[in-house]
Every structure is written in structure tokens, then in C-alpha cells.
Structure 1
């Protein structure tokens, strides 16, 4: 019998993630400090509940911020994972 973890890995989703993410490459901005600070990034994966971001440089990212996509869509976010230039976020 195949475990849930193996099935999720084969399907490309983390066993803790309730929604699978779609691969994408969209330019975006991390906006914080009352709209005074902006960091450019790319959205690599996107789901209804969160995203994986790719940064150009190793910079500290605040725990909460607004993610603004190139098309003007905005999401309130919480940083849940950070490894090198990749940041995992959950939409609030």
C-alpha cells in the first residue's frame, strides 16, 4: 500500500499543502514598510493559498508583506519558508 507522502510526492505536492501549485513565471513586487519599501521578485509557483517566490539577491524579507503582481493583483502574505533566494508564502 502506497503512503500518503509517497503519493503526494509523486503528484508534486507537499503532504501538508492542501492545494497543488501551478508552475508560472510572473514578475512581482514585495511591498512593505507602509508601501515605502519594495523588492522585485518572480512568482515561480502559484496556488489559491500561497506562492513560491524567487528573489534576485539574498535580502531579508519581512514576516508579513503585500505581494503585488505585474497585473496589479495584490495579496497579503506571510513568509512561511525561506531558503536562499526562494521564499514560500501563504496568502492571508
Structure 2
């Protein structure tokens, strides 16, 4: 199957956080793939992930606004929006 992504992906093993909205606690996640345009996250257990959220990667001192694009219930693909 041909590659549909426009940006090269890099495999990572970073701890991340999906910032909680409206006072909700952040959701812990792992950043497994990272590119200029998006990210693949892995979350242990079930979680109610918002369509738009701030992804924080504390060890890298990074944060970015993202939009959820797909999920299979454990893996979540998101596109950077800002």
C-alpha cells in the first residue's frame, strides 16, 4: 500500500498529556509516531478524547493544539492545528 502521509514520520517513545478541558484531569498518553503535521498517540485503557485538544510533551518542553483524526480505541491519530 502506498504511503499517504506528506511528512516523514519518526518513531518515538515519549510521555505525553492530553490537556483536560473544563477542569478535567489531563489524560496520560504515549507519543509513538511524530511528524511535522501530526502524531500517533497510545492510551492505556479507555478514555474520552476530545476532538480538539492541547497535546503536552513535558520532557521535550513542547505543547501543540491538535485535532483528532482517527482512533481504533487504543491508538489515536491527530493532526497539528496551531
Q: Structure 1 length as normaliser, TM-score?
A: 0.79
Higher helix share: 1
The structure with more radius of gyration? 1
Matches within 5 A, 1:1-92: 6=1, 8=2, 14-15=3-4, 17-34=5-22, 36-71=24-59, 72-92=61-81
Aligned length in residues: 80
Deviation of 1:59 (Å): 1.1
Deviation of 1:20 (Å): 1.9
Q: Which 4+ residue blocks in structure 1 deviate beyond 4 angstroms?
A: none
- The alignment's C-alpha RMSD in Å is 1.4
**Which secondary structure state, in structure 1, belongs to the residue aligned with residue 36 of structure 2?**
coil
Query: Structure 2: 5+ residue runs without aligned partners?
Result: none
Q: Structure 2 length as normaliser, TM-score?
A: 0.88
Structure with bigger RCO (C-alpha 8 Å, 6+ apart): 2
